A = this chain, B = another copy of it.
Amino acid sequence: MSELGPDLIIGAVSIFTAGITMAIGSIAPALGEGKAVAEALNAIAQQPDEAPTLTRTLFVGMAMVESTAIYCLVVSMILIFANPFWEYFIGKAGG
């Protein structure tokens, strides 16, 4: 059994990077969406008749903002569950 071997370092780096990527990646989408929602409520209060157009624009726009959070979640999940570097070293450690 290899102690402090390459699999350990790859594992530790993957865990840390996965968490930090998700954490930092959640900051801006949440702020951006909060701002969009706040402005949408303000706009609906000004023009109640346009509420359907406004909420539709809001949700399409928020989906686009959310996409950057999704990119980070995808990178984070790849690093935890489908990490090619990890699989290479597991294979080598088992080989």
When distances are taken between beta carbons in the complex, the residues of chain B under 8 Å from A68 are 26, 29-30, 33, 66, 69
B80 touches A58 (CB 8 A): no
Chain A: interface size category = 35 or more
> In the docked arrangement, what's the CA distance between A45 and B55, Å?
11
Chain A positions within 8 Å of B, measured between CB atoms, are 1-51, 53-55, 57-62, 64-69, 71-73, 75-76, 78-81, 83-86, 88-90, 92, 95
When distances are taken between beta carbons in the complex, the residues of chain B under 8 Å from A78 are 80
B48 touches A48 (CB 8 A): no
Sample of 9 A–B contacts (CB below 8 Å): A19-B76, A23-B23, A34-B65, A37-B65, A41-B42, A42-B43, A43-B45, A55-B57, A88-B90
When distances are taken between beta carbons in the complex, the residues of chain B under 8 Å from A49 are 48
> In the docked arrangement, what's the CA distance between A20 and B34, Å?
22
Most chain B beta carbons < 10 A, residue from A4, A18, A26, A76: A26
